Structure 1
Amino acid sequence: MNATDPQTGSRPPASRDVNFDAIVIGAGISGLFQLHCLRDRLGMNVRVFEAGTGVGGTWYWNRYPGARFDSESYSYAYSFSQELLDEWDWSEHFAGQPETERYLNHVADKFDLRRSISFSSRVKSAHWREATRSWTITLENGSQHSCRFLVTAVGPLSAPTYPRVEGIDSFGGEAYHTGLWPKHAVTFDGKRVAVIGTGASGVQAITEIAKTAKTLTVFQRRPNWCKPLHNRPISKKEMKELRAWYPEMFRICSSTSSCFLHTPDTRKTFDLTPEEREAFWEKQYQTPGFSMWVGGFQDMMTDRAANDEVSRFVARKIRERVRDPKVAELLVPKDHGFGTRRVPQESGYYEVFNQPNVKLVSIFDDPIKRITRTGIELADSSIEFDMIVYATGFDAVTGSLDRIDIRGIGGEKLKDKWRGSLETFFGMLVKGFPNLFMVLGPHAALGNVPRSIEYNVLWITDLLAYMLALGHTYANPTQAGVDAWTESVMKAAEGLLSSEVDSWMTGINQNVEGKQTRIIARYSGSAPEFRAKADAVAAGGYRELELD
């Protein structure tokens, strides 16, 4: 899919009170590319509003110790510019946050994107005005701006949440959320540190904090299945080889189910002998990245007995790596099978719990009662700390949109609409909210996120190019189009073990009021199927949209 420039003069007439052709919310991976496509390819007058003081999105805010890719660096990078691919060298197979932030700053500078970005500009509300077919955007500083087209590039994991316990603001020591980590240096040397949460961010942060903290107490609600990352440096020679491999690599990403460099094994679990299965899993366990999660046997995510087998293998690995049998049992998940939730990649995580300065507390067994001025009060005891780190995740998928007061036709609130029934058109449009485009909204395909981002940005760009060429100023999905896509989303989730567990991918967040009931929050089918369906909409002249 390649966006093309409209013919000269095809831009829709702007109302006198519309400041911009398009406004983009967010200057992360999605927002930067969307800005480039709309401004530099379509010639639109575009403004990006970014809450932070710099570009990067996820890689701007999540600067906690240990933050890094769990997808291969080179498969995570932009593919739209050959020149960019030719000039950027990755130093590690799974790059850390500082390198990724540098990369995205390099992109912003290379394509001169900063001149169209307003930093320290958090969007408070976005209201549709039917009379002028435009959006009015209000920032937290009170300033207002208007546009014909609005694009949200806010990401599915960008609305941090804290545990719902008393006294969070009363703590007198240092307190940080992994998703809102400060730019200034944070030291753990000689300090009594608490980390609440053992999801992907917690796993990475805990491994680093344990190296220097005087004591580290980890508060775990539910353990996750984790697999070794096996990261290593990339030499100049290897980078040259990787660069030559780029065309084939991106072809592989476009053909796999989740856009990763791994694809499920065509065999079923019980087609092999126990010894053959063991050898296969051992090899995957030693392979870098997500190979064991997305490259397992084809029935791992649909057959409970098959999933039990691989879960037992990984459980055995945990017990082998953790010396204290009681601690090991606390770290082995009992409420979900391997791969049915996102699998954190780790570098020595389990060995951390062999250190004498590290203690694991199950808050199922000993709940947190409240945060006090000096530490954490549990049901049966109190512990004093110098620092508390909240690795408690995000209000995923809808949360970053819920935090903006978005109102469509008749003043309907997007948050209220989704409270009744979560439905979109390919995760990119919502009926009743004309000219609102979401790069990665609910029911979009996720997987290796930048690969999905590039496709969705180009799909939105092509739609706007089509509208500009025909003089259209209005796009709203039909109910029939929304119903058809929602049915596809529901059908793709049928039979998946992941649909039966609590996770952010099923809309569950115990820290957010009203998000304790499972829903289907994302498209669980394959990325090639997603693209084929979306391409068919474009090829058919967007009949599923009301264009005017």
Structure 2
Amino acid sequence: MTQYFDAVVIGAGFSGIYMTYKLRKEGFSVKTFEKAAGVGGVWNVARYPGARCDSDSFYYNFMFSEDLYKKWSWSKRFAGQDEILSYLNFAADELDVKKYMQFNTEVKSAVWVEEHAVWHITTGNGEEFTATYLISGVGCLSTSSIPNFKGIENFQGESYHTGEWPNTTVDFRDKRVGVIGTGSSGVQSIPVIAESAKEVYVFQRTPQYSVPARNRSFTKEEVDQFKDEFHSARSVMLTSPSGLPIPKPTKSVVETPEEERNEILEMAWEKGGMILNNAFNDITTDEKSNELISEFLRNKIRANINKPEVAAHLLPYYYYATKRPILDTNYHDTYNQEHVMLVNLQQEPIEGITTNGIQTKEQEYPLDIIIFATGYDAMTGTLLKIDIRGREGLSLRNKWKSGKKVETYLGLGLAGFPNFFMITGPQSPSVLTNVPTAIEQHVEWISDCLKYMRDHHVKTIEPTEGAEREWSMKCQEIADNTLFTKTASWYTGSNIDGKSQDFLIYLGGLDNYRQICNEVSQQDYRGYAFEFNKIEA
């Protein structure tokens, strides 16, 4: 028997938890599906060593409820995966939403049924559901990606992807470990793995900039202060481009006198975290400004590495901050340890995986464990795993197929897909903000939209093709005036073979984006087309 709900939500991370709560609070029936065994989203599966958030903990949480905020106390400045997962379970229990969620359930397809104006949803368990509204909370980084290495199936040792880590302890003691990839998960995990492994081989394609996290435990006095400052912090978060309580920067790197600039940079370096990224207003828009910051960071790497020949391989030369900014704990220092070896894949690329390890152009590296820190099919990958079909059978895979520009309206909706909403979808601020802040804004906007539809007898809501095209062009225009589009990264999809090279993040800032979304709703959902229910006399 097919069960009906007002709304089906896909995913039970930050997005799914809050969306489920808001819908229930507003009187909608809801069913939330999660393929993992519990809440947490990416934090339920990315359990790799050293995994932690890169926003300060007291702002990497829900801020819509002062009561909820003050009931939880973070132990460290940057919380680890286990503590974040505990927090999300705490929040789901406090909000009493787990009873509306079905775990160990993957949504396989969602098809719009025109005749009844509902979504027909099928799960991997063979269950069928219908819903008036379909809401994606699948996240931007939830589909792991491993390059198609020749012979990967032949390796006789253990292998893991950082984004799909087992819920058991992986023992590195007396093991030869190879780590492929030096993005955020590689940078976080390599120092921890090196603490116990016999040998560590880091296979690096692109050297990375990183800033020290300066992670530490909080004192009780600090925890109390964070809680006392809830209102002032939230006020700044709601009006800042980053969604963090960091004021909008006003200084230009290149226009700031050298002595003052160096003082600011050194202070930001010592404080750690995302302070350096938000110290100036032209780091990602002016090449000269970016180079000054980049050289500052390269000098820090040179100073950290004992061997100049190793340091030379660790120096990045792309535009700083146009790949995901990385916070590290002793990452570059790790290369001073004798049992940690760097393999430069630009000089000796990987030719394949063997039964015993990794074969490069130069030699074979015998390994007991291979860690694939090779990232995700970001932004669109998880949505495209689901067979989503809108009006007249239009599939999302065809709408976004390789070679076609990905277009959305506000990163929230899609032309041809009625009553379908995306939380932190492509062309919203998403991963270049404090994501929980972005999620709250989306959830609240969607909830208000559904209430508007109910109150005004709106049967379907759907972006027009013109509004979708105009928004996508606006996003691209902003991006083209920055340095982001000049760097190959997962922001552009360049890490996935055959994927269209689209920059799918709105770069105008969460503050401006919030204002645009508010204007759309205040103008009776400008850019959307409505169908109304027939009201009987």
1:343 aligns with 2:325: yes
1:504 maps to 490
2:535 maps to none
Number of matched residues?
527
In structure 2, what is the Cα distance between the partners aligned to 1:47 and 1:415?
24
One-letter code aligned to 2:339? N
One-letter code aligned to 2:476? M
Work out whether residues 479 and 503 of structure 2, in 8 Å CA contact, stay in contact via their aligned partners in 1.
yes
In structure 1, what is the Cα distance between the partners aligned to 2:361 and 2:284?
37
1:301 aligns with 2:287: no
- Give the alignment's Cα RMSD to 1 decimal: 1.4
1:292 maps to 276
Q: 1:66-85 to 2 correspondence within 5 Å?
A: 66-85=50-69
One-letter code aligned to 2:485? S
1:437 aligns with 2:457: no
1:456 aligns with 2:442: yes
Work out whether residues 251 and 279 of structure 2, in 8 Å CA contact, stay in contact via their aligned partners in 1.
no
Q: Deviations over 1:174-225 (max 9, x none)?
A: 1111100010111111111111110001100111101110000011111111
In structure 2, what is the Cα distance between the partners aligned to 1:18 and 1:73?
39
One-letter code aligned to 2:396? L
Work out whether residues 374 and 384 of structure 1, in 8 Å CA contact, stay in contact via their aligned partners in 2.
yes
2:504 maps to 521
Per the TM alignment, residue 288 of structure 1 is displaced from its structure 2 partner at its CA by 2.6
Per the TM alignment, residue 282 of structure 1 is displaced from its structure 2 partner at its CA by 1.0
Work out whether residues 66 and 230 of structure 2, in 8 Å CA contact, stay in contact via their aligned partners in 1.
no
In structure 2, what is the Cα distance between the partners aligned to 1:387 and 1:17?
45
What residue ranges of structure 1 are gaps of 5+ in the alignment?
1-15
In structure 2, what is the Cα distance between the partners aligned to 1:520 and 1:123?
27
1:411 aligns with 2:393: yes
1:353 maps to 335
One-letter code aligned to 1:36? Y
Q: Please identify, of 259-268 and 92-101, the stretch whose mean Cα deviation from structure 2 is larger.
A: 259-268
In structure 2, what is the Cα distance between the partners aligned to 1:504 and 1:327?
26
Q: 1:485 aligns with which of 468, 471, 492?
A: 471
Q: 3-state DSSP class of the match of 1:521?
A: coil
In structure 2, what is the Cα distance between the partners aligned to 1:502 and 1:263?
29
2:204 maps to 220
Per the TM alignment, residue 457 of structure 1 is displaced from its structure 2 partner at its CA by 0.4
1:538 aligns with 2:524: no
Work out whether residues 262 and 290 of structure 1, in 8 Å CA contact, stay in contact via their aligned partners in 2.
no
1:10 maps to none
Per the TM alignment, residue 17 of structure 1 is displaced from its structure 2 partner at its CA by 5.7
In structure 2, what is the Cα distance between the partners aligned to 1:61 and 1:354?
31
1:20 maps to 5
Work out whether residues 70 and 94 of structure 1, in 8 Å CA contact, stay in contact via their aligned partners in 2.
yes
Per the TM alignment, residue 50 of structure 1 is displaced from its structure 2 partner at its CA by 0.4
Per the TM alignment, residue 329 of structure 1 is displaced from its structure 2 partner at its CA by 1.4
Q: 3-state DSSP class of the match of 1:425?
A: coil
In structure 2, what is the Cα distance between the partners aligned to 1:383 and 1:522?
38
Q: Deviations over 1:486-509 (max 9, x none)?
A: 232123213201121111222322
1:547 maps to 530
Q: 3-state DSSP class of the match of 1:377?
A: strand
Per the TM alignment, residue 444 of structure 1 is displaced from its structure 2 partner at its CA by 0.7
Q: 3-state DSSP class of the match of 1:351?
A: helix
Q: 3-state DSSP class of the match of 1:121?
A: coil
Work out whether residues 2 and 128 of structure 2, in 8 Å CA contact, stay in contact via their aligned partners in 1.
no
Work out whether residues 127 and 408 of structure 1, in 8 Å CA contact, stay in contact via their aligned partners in 2.
yes
1:201 maps to 185
One-letter code aligned to 1:358? V
Q: 3-state DSSP class of the match of 1:184?
A: coil
Q: 1:387-398 to 2 correspondence within 5 Å?
A: 387-398=369-380
Q: 3-state DSSP class of the match of 2:229?
A: helix
1:92 aligns with 2:76: yes
In structure 2, what is the Cα distance between the partners aligned to 1:224 and 1:260?
24
Work out whether residues 18 and 148 of structure 1, in 8 Å CA contact, stay in contact via their aligned partners in 2.
no
In structure 2, what is the Cα distance between the partners aligned to 1:449 and 1:272?
30
In structure 2, what is the Cα distance between the partners aligned to 1:492 and 1:478?
21
Q: 3-state DSSP class of the match of 1:271?
A: coil
Work out whether residues 173 and 385 of structure 1, in 8 Å CA contact, stay in contact via their aligned partners in 2.
yes
Per the TM alignment, residue 369 of structure 1 is displaced from its structure 2 partner at its CA by 1.0
1:45 aligns with 2:25: no
One-letter code aligned to 2:12? A
In structure 2, what is the Cα distance between the partners aligned to 1:17 and 1:172?
45
2:534 maps to none
In structure 2, what is the Cα distance between the partners aligned to 1:17 and 1:61?
30
Work out whether residues 211 and 272 of structure 2, in 8 Å CA contact, stay in contact via their aligned partners in 1.
no
Q: 1:423 aligns with which of 395, 402, 407?
A: 407
In structure 2, what is the Cα distance between the partners aligned to 1:479 and 1:455?
24
Identity %: 38
1:101 maps to 85
Q: 1:268-279 to 2 correspondence within 5 Å?
A: 268-279=252-263
Work out whether residues 298 and 315 of structure 2, in 8 Å CA contact, stay in contact via their aligned partners in 1.
yes
In structure 2, what is the Cα distance between the partners aligned to 1:377 and 1:341?
28
One-letter code aligned to 2:527? E
Work out whether residues 213 and 272 of structure 2, in 8 Å CA contact, stay in contact via their aligned partners in 1.
yes
In structure 1, what is the Cα distance between the partners aligned to 2:524 and 2:257?
52
Q: 2:15 aligns with which of 26, 30, 37?
A: 30
One-letter code aligned to 2:150? E
Work out whether residues 408 and 471 of structure 2, in 8 Å CA contact, stay in contact via their aligned partners in 1.
yes
Q: Deviations over 1:410-460 (max 9, x none)?
A: 111112212322111110100001111100111011211000000000000
What residue ranges of structure 2 are gaps of 5+ in the alignment?
532-537
Work out whether residues 161 and 392 of structure 1, in 8 Å CA contact, stay in contact via their aligned partners in 2.
yes
Q: Please identify, of 450-459 and 110-119, the stretch whose mean Cα deviation from structure 2 is larger.
A: 110-119
In structure 2, what is the Cα distance between the partners aligned to 1:543 and 1:448?
27
One-letter code aligned to 2:8? I
Work out whether residues 192 and 385 of structure 1, in 8 Å CA contact, stay in contact via their aligned partners in 2.
yes
Q: Please identify, of 481-490 and 400-409, the stretch whose mean Cα deviation from structure 2 is larger.
A: 481-490
1:324 maps to 307
Per the TM alignment, residue 464 of structure 1 is displaced from its structure 2 partner at its CA by 0.3
